[in-house]
Amino acid sequence: MQRLTWLALAVTLGLAEARTARADEEKVPLDKVPKEVMDAVKGRFPGAKLLGASKEKEDGKTVYEISLTYKNHHHDVTVQPDGKVLGIERELPAKDLPKAVAEALAAKYPKATYKTVEELLKGDGKLKGYEVLLVTAEKKTLEVVLDPDGKVLKEEKKGKKDDD
């Protein structure tokens, strides 16, 4: 899923090592998530509606991803078992993209339609970039990661058209 691609951005920016394949992702009932993880998420997003959780390995270490709704935006928060927040992905309307990012997307992918747009944040809340799932005018589905200035850092084909 595109929800964890913030780590790919972090690798590109030299902030973290690559995440292993998501085949080891496992859904976890919210009541089985470690207290430290839940406390960190609830402390960072007071009053959020918690939607679900999963657990997976990242470089041999377990991390949890908590999906939630906070202030009318969907968020995915990646947290270590000790409660350290590693990253946050926040969905936002395409109209809320910064001008430089919106212009870069329009120039590279004219007439594309945006399926999801996410703001990628480090664990400390610092903006790292944006991730956009889009369909090009040629009907190719792409996941595009951009830095805050609109530079394309990663482009990955998604969906049935991967074999083009």
| Amino acid found at 95 | K
Does 2-163 carry CATH code 3.40.50.300? no
Digit-by-digit pLDDT tens for the chain (164 residues) are 333 333 333 333 333 333 333 557 899 999 999 999 999 999 999 999 999 999 999 888 999 999 999 999 999 999 999 999 999 999 999 999 999 999 999 999 999 999 999 999 999 999 999 999 999 999 999 999 999 999 999 999 987 644 44
Cα–Cα dist 4/94, whole Å: 19
What is the domain partition of the chain in residue ranges?
Answer: 2-163
pLDDT tens readout for residues 44-86: 999 999 999 999 998 889 999 999 999 999 999 999 999 999 9
Cα–Cα dist 95/108, whole Å: 17
- Count Cβ atoms below 10 Å from residue 129 Cβ, excluding itself: 25
What's the pTM value of the predicted model, to 2 decimals? 0.78
